[in-house]
């Protein structure tokens, strides 16, 4: 496959990837450090026959994105922590109503307004559990500008395949980092399935292949009823316990059954190592660097870089840590993924500790290396 090289910052790569993946609608609200995504979309979307609309807030932005998606356009928005908080109710709506859409969340230092220009990885749990109610959700985490591009394209594909919102968690550092990336001339894109068969009595929410229904777009001759209420296969509201139970199970299962087909963790360093690092996003860059130095020092170290944070790749983590005496989780928060690694119930129990940083700076290779030497010695 032929590629063309571009020098881009992370935000630009996300915007470009969206348009390349077929997005023709962007709705957003200005917020640092995500604004370049909106700026770029406002410029390039009209050139591709698409639409940029600047809404009155983030609640309206994700609502407009959901509306456009139901009208048949691939649609996305970008924001940062405070905006993610505002979008949460409608992210839950998109999960419940099975509306494909992509949310790029450029993590900044929080909570609250925090520090708008400084990075963090503090939204890992907000992305997982920020909207109320029981649910499963896909969250991807790029660690480079190349991955910003690749995983944003993948996010659109997964959103269409599973008919669900997908969150891409970047951060203030990758967002503004400039790197050379390779953009493939041809991308494998997933397009929405179209209903077939008789128009009358079509059931838009009847589970199709893999539990994913084939839902018409508004304006199609197939009539579409959409609601955030518990609904039956026709789309009518229902308070039937059986309907509710089956719906909630299906919405989670349609994603979790296929967790092995989501972007898989990348492994670096020595297999069956004594020290295993688990990291993701910008922190994985420092971890990777530290691992290569440690391997040169003949230390027994391996590393797993998570690309999909949720659903959590539990089996891969267990496998990678099978021979480890110590597990280090490298992340810029107070242990949000570390707690999840602990919950894997590694057997026999062993030391799982956190290499973290929560002072607005990014984790350095030296910090990780010191931690490796500490447990490897």
Partner 1 sequence: MNYEEYLAKNRLPHLWCPGCGNGITLKALLLALAEMGLKREEVLLATGIGCSGRAGEYVNFHSFQGTHGRTLAFATGINLARPELKIICLMGDGDCAAIGAGHFLHAARRNIDLTALVINNFNYGMTGGQFSPLTPAGSLTSTSHSGKVEGIMDLCRLAETAGANYVARTTVFHAPELKNFILEAIAKKGFSFVEVLSPCPTYYGRYNKIGGPVKLMEWLKNNTVPLKKFEQMEKEDKGRLFWRGKLADRNARDFFTAYLEQERGGRNQ
The contacts of residue 275 (CB under 8 Å, 6+ apart) are: 294, 299, 300, 301, 302, 324, 325, 326, 327, 328, 372, 375, 376
Q: Look at the chain and count its residues.
A: 377
Which residue from 156, 87, 81, 85 is spatially nearest to 114, judged by alpha carbons? 81
- Residue 280 as a binder of partner 1 (CB under 8 A): the answer is no
**Least Å from the CB of residue 77 to partner 1:** 10
**Least Å from the CB of residue 98 to partner 1:** 13
- Residue 133 as a binder of partner 1 (CB under 8 A): the answer is no
| Dist. CA 106–CA 303, nearest whole Å | 24
* Among the listed residues 57, 240, 249, 315, the single contact to partner 1 using CB under 8 A: 57
- Residue 3 as a binder of partner 1 (CB under 8 A): the answer is no
- Residue 68 as a binder of partner 1 (CB under 8 A): the answer is yes
**Least Å from the CB of residue 45 to partner 1:** 8
Residue recorded with tokens 């599973």: 162
| Dist. CA 265–CA 333, nearest whole Å | 20
Contact region with partner 1 (CB under 8 A), list: 142-150, 231-239, 319-327, 358-366: 231-239
- Residue 339 as a binder of partner 1 (CB under 8 A): the answer is no
Point out which residues pair with 20 in neighbouring strands: none
* Among the listed residues 63, 166, 262, 291, the single contact to partner 1 using CB under 8 A: 63
Judged by CB, which is closer to partner 1: 63, or 276? 63
- Residue 93 as a binder of partner 1 (CB under 8 A): the answer is yes
Exposure string for 345-368, b = 16+ CB within 10 A, e = fewer: ebeeeeebebbbbeeeebbebebb
Binding mask 7-36 for partner 1 (x = CB under 8 A): ------------------x-x---------
Instruction: Phi first, then psi: give them for residue 9, nearest 5 degrees.
Output: -90, 165
- Residue 51 as a binder of partner 1 (CB under 8 A): the answer is yes
Cα 294 off chain centre by:
30
How many of the chain's residues bind partner 1 (CB under 8 A)? 43
List interacting residues with partner 1 (CB under 8 A). 25, 27, 46, 49, 51-53, 55-57, 59-61, 63-73, 75, 89-90, 93, 217-221, 223-229, 235-237
């Amino acid at each position: 496959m032929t590629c063309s090289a571009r020098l881009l910052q992370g935000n630009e790569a996300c915007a470009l990837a969206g348009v390349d993946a077929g997005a023709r609608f962007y709705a957003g609200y200005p917020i640092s450090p995500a604004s370049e995504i909106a700026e770029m979309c406002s410029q390039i979307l009209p050139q591709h026959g698409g639409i940029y609309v600047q809404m009155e807030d983030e609640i309206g932005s994700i609502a407009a994105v959901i509306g456009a998606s139901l009208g048949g356009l691939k649609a996305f928005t970008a924001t940062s922590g405070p905006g993610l908080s505002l979008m949460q109710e409608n992210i839950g709506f998109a999960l419940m109503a099975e509306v494909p859409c992509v949310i790029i969340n450029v993590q900044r230092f929080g909570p609250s307004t925090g520090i708008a220009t400084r990075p963090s990885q503090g939204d890992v749990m907000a992305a997982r559990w920020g909207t109320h109610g029981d649910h499963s959700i896909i969250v991807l985490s790029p660690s480079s500008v190349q991955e910003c591009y690749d995983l944003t394209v993948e996010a659109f594909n997964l959103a269409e395949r599973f008919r669900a919102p997908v969150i891409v968690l970047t951060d203030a550092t990758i967002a503004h980092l400039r790197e050379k990336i390779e953009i493939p001339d041809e991308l494998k894109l997933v397009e929405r399935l179209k209903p077939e068969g008789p128009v009358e009595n079509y059931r838009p929410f009847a589970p199709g292949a893999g539990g994913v229904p084939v839902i018409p777009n508004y304006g199609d001759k197939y009539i579409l009823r959409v609601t955030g209420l518990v609904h039956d296969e026709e789309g009518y509201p229902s308070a039937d316990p059986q309907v509710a139970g089956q719906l909630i199970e299906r919405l989670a299962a349609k994603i979790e059954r296929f967790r092995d087909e989501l972007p898989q963790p990348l492994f670096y360093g020595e297999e069956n190592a004594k020290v295993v690092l688990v990291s993701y996003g910008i922190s994985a860059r420092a971890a990777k660097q530290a691992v290569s130095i440690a391997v040169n020092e003949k230390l027994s170290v391996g590393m797993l870089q998570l690309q999909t944070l949720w659903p959590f790749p539990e089996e891969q983590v267990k496998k990678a840590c099978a021979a480890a005496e110590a597990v280090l989780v490298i992340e810029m928060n107070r242990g949000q993924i570390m707690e999840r690694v602990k919950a894997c119930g590694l057997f026999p129990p062993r030391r799982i500790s956190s290499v973290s940083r929560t002072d607005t700076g990014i984790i350095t290779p030296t910090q990780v290396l010191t931690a490796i030497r500490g447990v490897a010695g």
